[in-house]
Structure 1
Amino acid sequence: MIDSLRGDVIGRYGVTPELEKFSKTSYVFANHLVNAAWTRPSTLVFFTGKYASRNPVNFWDYPTPQNEVTAFYESELFPLPKLLSQNGIDTVMVGNNPFVTDKNGLGVNVGFQILHEYSHLSNDTPQITKKSLEVITSFSEAKKPFFFFLNFNDPHKPYTPPSGFRERIKSDEIMEERKRDYLGEVAYIDQELSVVFDALKKKGLWDNTCIIITADHGEVMHPEHAISPFTGTNTFFGHGQDLFLENISVPLLIKFPNQTTSTIFKNRTRSIDLYPTVLELLGMQKKSDIDGESLFPIIRGEETKKRLYYGETRSTQGIGIGDDFLLQRSYRFHELGRFWEGGVGRETFYFYDVSKDPEQIHPIRFLDISEIKNSELANDLKTKIESLWSRIRLTEPNLTRYTIRLNPGRFNQGILKAVARVNVGRIRILKKNISSCLEISHSERELTVLWNSDKSKQLENKTKDSEVVFEVYPDVTFPSFHLFQNDLEITNGNLGAGSFDLTPVGCRLNCETLYDSPIGAPRPTNEIRMQVWRSGNNKKEYVRSDKLETDAVNILRKQGYIQ
């Protein structure tokens, strides 16, 4: 993995002779997109085959709170390095990627048996190459199957190429000095790869090894994208703040053992597809529910469909089919922390036809798909957008949902009122199952359900349960629940939490776990009672520990993540 290597660099500027040579004996996937736009979520996509939102580690803020780390180990049982190690394959990582270890509060351990991680060094590339040669020698002597993850951080910013490498650029393009420095680092890494490749050949490993070359994300270099329309952040010569093609389009080259010819595929491929491809290569079955599909049907010429693209990064969700891309400013996966304090703004859509606008600088903007009905947009555009959005309900099963059920029981006089409140984000009603005697009202941060006994007198069954399902958007705080009888709040004994209908009296720490529903909805009661339960696969704690140690802060600062 070559950090920040854009998909349009190889063969274009004269700085990639080794990669060009490699591509002549490998499969070249010319339309390859990553499903996340900065290193940690993108790396986890590689190693799980799942979209970033499907594992517990946030892709919004840099720290990984302990509850996220613990949840990752409990839910992600088969990350690729761990799965291969369990099947007799030696797994080793050499590189600069602070997010594949849990030792500094920035990431999680994905299961490498041996890990040489150099993000603490200022000049890491020479040490990465040196250690790689040692590892290759050990592989040749051991004569055992191995999985070797080599992760160069260059050409990640800050761009500081060694002397002489900028001079290798061959282009008439008028370019910024930062781009020259970036391409100089690409030239540097290309030369380092030649050293690694030579070692594989000399040690007799070249012809019986599958080699995959790719990147975790691209880099924003178009002036029109300098200020992200999704986060408002200056991301010029950076990444992680949008899902524009220049940020998600990266190389993918795969050389199989004894391969001597090249084939170029123009099919859309995604980084979620690498995990199942490696498993099929090794004749192994997947052990978890993944989102990716093996690339072998494309290689064998059997695939006729167009693979759907879906991506996530800070404040952005994006989907694409063919040339149609729909990006949305989204707060869906936000986390309280360094960069966000809970405000939810306008969630604008941006539609692009990249066959006509390949640089994505002339979007059609709108706030809601429904507004297209009376807009100036053509009917075929509306159809395209609805088709795109209807095909992506990927994260819905994982969303945290809350259900309020109001059981009026023998309540015969006045108003019974259930209230849910949040102090961050907003409440969004998802489903209502109510009778005529109920009224629902809600503001951004409060939901109220009223039972009016005067309206219920004619009902034979006054204990008929009525339910309202809602989410807290984004899911960053646990709501408080209250029950009122004629405007007087009644005790917690009338609040049943979770599928076991527990009473959370006296609970002060992590009380939200009482509300989980592992066995489904509780039984309705024949008494004055409010029942509340939480469902969904991403149930979580809402207290974040965002204090980073000095070493972690220095790593982020050195790599240009923070100032």
Structure 2
Amino acid sequence: MRTKLLSNSVIFFFIISVLTFVCSPKQDQFPKPIKKPPNFLWIVVDSLRGDIIGRYGVTPVMDEFAKSANVFSNHLVNAAWTRPSTLVFFTGKYASRSPVNFWDYPTPKSEAQDFYQKELYPLPKYLSQNGIHTVMVGNNPFVTDKNGLGVNVGFDESFDFSDHLNDTPFITKKSLSVLEDLVEKNKPFFFFLNYNDPHKPYTPPPGYVQRIKTEEFLEDRKRDYLGEVAYIDDQLDLIFKKLKTMGLWDETVVLITADHGEVMRSEHAISPFTGTNTYYGHGQDLFLENIHVPLLVKLKNQKTGRVIKQRTQSVDLYPFVIESFSLDAKSKLDGVSIQKYIDGKSSADRFYYGETRSTQGIGFGDDFLLQKSFRFHELGKFWEGVVGREVFYYYNIQNDPNQIDPIRFNEISDLNSLQLSDTLKNKITFLSNQLREIEPTIPLYTIRFNRLEERPLNLEVRVSIGTGQLRPKIKSIDSRIAFENSVRELSIKVDTSKLKKSESIEIPFEVYPDVTFPKFQFFEGKQEITTEDVGIGMFELAPNVCTISCNELFDAPLGKPKVSIFNHFQVWKTGGLTNSYVRDSRLETDAMEILRKQGYVQ
């Protein structure tokens, strides 16, 4: 009996042990140790070209920093002047994805409001929402909306010195004070430090030009530029020493980059895209000297450096920062985290895509295709609404590293008349197709002609604009349509007797660039129709329900509306960003003084 009880007890305990093992959480189900988030210091040195650090003897501090950092030797920005480039930093998207223009300096209130409605997670705001203290110190008037030059991207604290004549020492002094405050807060931080030097006008303090060591002949402007680089290098020394003495160095990711480069080749002095003198300037092209900038990244506790040769882009920095804080993207990004390159998990070539005033560009490997573009123009004193030729320039940077001897042509079809190999023609065509694939969409208007059950009619729609071009997007000719088109007028006639009952015909077109809303006129025979038989937008509203700012009624955000059983005409708009088509380009005195001080305007 005792043996039986013992046997039963053994069996009982065996069953309990098995159940305990099977039902217990697996090892990876236990809470993992919480990874301590880093601090993050992002340093922008305005206008710092990608070929300066380690040359000329003016960057000993950055040279030493590079020895314990990841040095990205092939890093390109996706925009070529400060405001769009900064918004690329803070959105992880190409500049044209933002409602904020990069054609002119003013940021109209309508653009700022559209930005706030569309961009819900600009980097500083998103980090702040997740318990990270965000602060900006520097000279960048485009990360605030107080002067009508930019937008508020959501920093917890912002100290902008763009209204100071000698801003650099103030920026450094405030940065040292901010670091002390951040230690007292005892929480992870994101610190964006933006020096304006060596942006023009180049005015280095005495003694810095004398630090230059080179056999290269330097004209005065480049000497002064390098003097300002040496001055900023000294400022970084103060910042780095402060981080180390406060015990923050090993716990902080430090990133150094620039928002754009600077044009210093005389061959690029007059931009072929804008016709503007951009010698010792920027923003008027996408040549490598304008978009190749440094990228140096020291991770937490990193002691040794390495050079990463794969091409990276400024759209890649937003995803890197949020990944560093173990956060996920909340919207679709155009970049990929540079952590993949640091970890050696990505070696494949990627397309580069860039935008700036009057210019679009795409690159793959050593091949770059740049195009003069009116896509981003805005009406005003710099452009009166005429669209000209959009010329292409192809470069192979292995054969032509300074980009001074392009293959130039007006249309892709012109390649057939050039004495080029089929391989090269195919390569250029491929780049052009990819450029069209990546570039932002322009709103597409569609006119639909419906034959209703009643008697057939001769229908006509006339479209006109005051600026830009009307561009029909018809894939094939339809004999049932009478079509007349000039640059700014379009007439489409359809005899519905040639249509089957309940059949429709759709005619799409673009207004290029998207700077004006087209005027529509509808006719049945010779009678103009204003209220009946016309439905606009997704809900088939009558045109007379609105008298001002009516363009939004034409929107069909969910796609084309159903074929109407009531209206002979339907018109709707899809794609593109919301545009009010009303711009106020005036700037207040304070904003103009900031732009003059920084050399943007005379």
Normalized against structure 2, the TM-score is what?
Answer: 0.90
Q: Report the Cα distance in structure 2 between the residues aligned to 1:519 and 1:203, rounded to whole angstroms.
A: 54
1:288-437 matches, cutoff 5 A = 288-395=331-438, 398-409=441-452, 415-431=458-474, 436-437=479-480
Give 3-state SS (helix, strand or coil) of 1:137's partner: helix
Q: Distance in 2 between matches of 1:414 and 1:258?
A: 77
* Counterpart position of 2:505: 466
- Tell me which of 168, 172, 190 is aligned to 2:211: 168
Q: Which structure 2 residues correspond to residues 84-99 of structure 1 after superposition, within 5 A?
A: 84-99=127-142
Residue number among 473, 479, 492 corresponding to 2:531 in the alignment: 492
Q: For 2:272 and 2:417, how far apart are their aligned partners in 1?
A: 25
How far did residue 393 of structure 1 move?
4.3
Distance (Å, rounded) in 2 between the aligned partners of 1:53 and 1:165: 39
User: 1:63·1:107 contact (CA, 8 Å) conserved in 2?
Assistant: yes
For residues 216 and 67 of structure 1, the distance between their equivalents in structure 2, rounded to whole angstroms, comes to: 25
Deviation per CA, 1:96-131, whole angstroms, max 9, x where unpaired?
A: 000000000000001100000010111100100000
Contact persistence 1:211–1:255 (CA under 8 A): yes
Residues 432, 467 of structure 1: 8 Å contact kept: no
Equivalence map 1:192-211=2 (5 Å): 192-211=235-254
The 4+ residue runs of structure 1 with deviation greater than 6 A are none
**Contact 1:54/1:395, CA 8 A, preserved across alignment:** no
Aligned length: 559
Opposite residue 90 of structure 2, the aligned amino acid is F
Gaps of at least 5 residues in structure 1 are none
1:451 correspondence with 2:490: no
Distance of 1:527 and 1:140 partners within structure 2 = 69
> Is this contact kept in 2: 1:104–1:549, CA < 8 A?
yes
Partner of 2:299: 256
Q: Following the alignment from structure 2 to structure 1, what is the Cα–Cα distance between the partners of residues 334 and 49?
A: 24
C-alpha distance after superposition, 1:427-462 (max 9, x if no partner): 112245885422222111112111135xx35x542x
8 Å contact from structure 1 (residues 397, 536) kept in 2: no
- Give the residue type in structure 2 aligned to 1:421: S
Partner of 2:106: 63
Q: Does 1:519 align with 2:519?
A: no
The one-letter amino acid paired with 2:272 is P
The partner residue of 2:544 within 502, 505, 509 is 505
Label 1:146 to 1:369 Cα distance change in 2 as closer, same or farther (>3 A).
same
Q: Does the 8 Å CA contact 2:534/2:567 hold for their aligned counterparts? A: no
Per the TM alignment, residue 163 of structure 1 is displaced from its structure 2 partner at its CA by 0.9
Identity, in percent, stands at 59
The residue number in structure 1 matching 2:197 is: 154
Q: Provide the rounded CA distance (Å) in 2 between the counterparts of 1:44 and 1:555.
A: 19
Other structure's SS at 2:311 match = strand
Q: Offset at 1:408?
A: 4.3
Indicate if the aligned counterparts of 2:472 and 2:509 stay in contact, CA closer than 8 A.
yes
- Sort the Cα spacing of 1:394 and 1:85 in 2 relative to 1 into closer, same or farther, 3 A: farther
Amino acid at match of 2:577: N
Pick from 152, 160, 169 the counterpart of residue 117 of structure 1: 160
CA deviation vs aligned residue, 1:136-192 (integer Å, no higher than 9, x gap): 111222221000000000000011111111111111111211111111100100001
How far residue 410 of structure 1 moved from its aligned partner, in angstroms, is 6.1
Tell me how far 1:227 sits from its aligned partner.
0.2
One of 482, 487, 497 as aligned partner of 2:521: 482
* C-alpha displacement of 1:472: 0.6
Helix, strand or coil: the match of 1:468? strand
Say what the alpha-carbon RMSD is for the aligned residues.
Answer: 1.6
Deviations 1:394-419 (A, max 9, x none): 55664211111122436757742111
SS in 1 for 2:402: coil
Q: Distance in 2 between matches of 1:528 and 1:206?
A: 69
d(CA) in 1 for partners of 2:200, 2:230: 15
1:245 to 276, 285, 288: 288
Question: Which residue identity does 1:193 align to in structure 2?
Answer: L
Cα distance in 1, alignment partners of residues 52 and 252 from structure 2 = 25
SS in 1 for 2:90: helix
Larger radius of gyration: 2
Counterpart in 1 of 2:594?
555
**Structural mapping, 1:171-186, within 5 Å:** 171-186=214-229
**Which position in structure 1 is the counterpart of 2:572?**
533
Shift of 1:558: 1.0
1:544 aligns to 2:583 (yes or no): yes
Tell whether the 8 Å contact from 1:319 to 1:388 is kept in structure 2 after alignment. yes
Gaps of 5+ in 2: 1-43
Secondary structure, in 3 states, of the residue corresponding to 1:72?
A: helix
Amino acid at match of 1:54: R
Note if contact 2:516-2:581 (Cα within 8 Å) is conserved in structure 1: yes
Deviations 1:466-510 (A, max 9, x none): 111111110000001111233342223333110101012162221
Instruction: Give the secondary structure class of the aligned counterpart of 1:391.
Output: helix
8 A contact 1:416–1:452 mirrored in 2? yes
- Separation in structure 2 between the aligned mates of residue 434 and residue 519 of structure 1, nearest angstrom: 28
Supply the distance in 2 between the matched residues of 1:464 and 1:174 (Cα, whole angstroms): 73
- Name 2:149's counterpart in structure 1: 106
Contact 2:97 2:440 in 1 (8 A): no
Question: Please, which moves more after superposition, 504-513 or 353-362?
Answer: 504-513
Q: Distance in 2 between matches of 1:470 and 1:307?
A: 32
**Cα separation, 2, equivalents of 1:161 and 1:76:** 38
The alpha-carbon deviation at position 336 of structure 1 amounts to 1.5
Corresponding residue SS for 1:492: coil
